[in-house]
Copies of this chain bind each other. A is one copy, B any other.
Amino acid sequence: METRNTFQKSLVLKAIQDLHHPTADGVYGLVSAGCPTISRGTVYRNLNALVEAGKLRRVGIPDGADRFDASVTDHYHIRCSRCGAVTDIDMPFQRDLMKQAGDVHGYLIESHDIIFKGICPDCRLPDDIV
């Protein structure tokens, strides 16, 4: 299937780069500000196409809408349990875990995701101990 460059697709890609880890709805909000006629369906279709094309990463979040990430290199995410913000975590990718996991039950491991949950510096209160 050939793929075409449309104005709408470029706006969606730009929105992902300008927002950090937005939901599809967040993208729609920003894009529709500059292009009021765009539809949610088009935003979803373009998000899927860009993920498919490897220009975007989809981050599945338990208990919530998918997030989209302009960075497609291997890395992990953390979600603040208070404000809900999703952020990249700048720590080494644990490639060895995949081998470990595969050895245990004879799976051929393709990938892995780690989602941390915690309280971000902004939401942290003086007496927070976990």
- Interface of A with B (CB < 8 Å)? 58, 60-63, 66, 76, 78, 80-81, 87, 89-91, 94, 97-98, 100-102, 104-121, 124, 128-130
A97 nearest CB across to chain B (Å): 7
| SS of A interface (majority) | mixed
Q: Is the beta-carbon distance between B109 and A116 smaller than 8 angstroms?
A: yes
A119-B108 CB under 8 A given contacts A62-B60, A78-B101, A101-B89:
yes
Bound: A111/B107 CA distance, A? 25
In Å, the complex CA distance between A105 and B121 comes to 8
Considering the complex, give the chain B residue whose CB is closest to the CB of A60.
B62
By the criterion CB–CB under 8 Å, are A104 and B124 in contact? no
Which has the most chain B C-beta neighbours within 10 Å: A60, A63, A87, A124?
Answer: A60
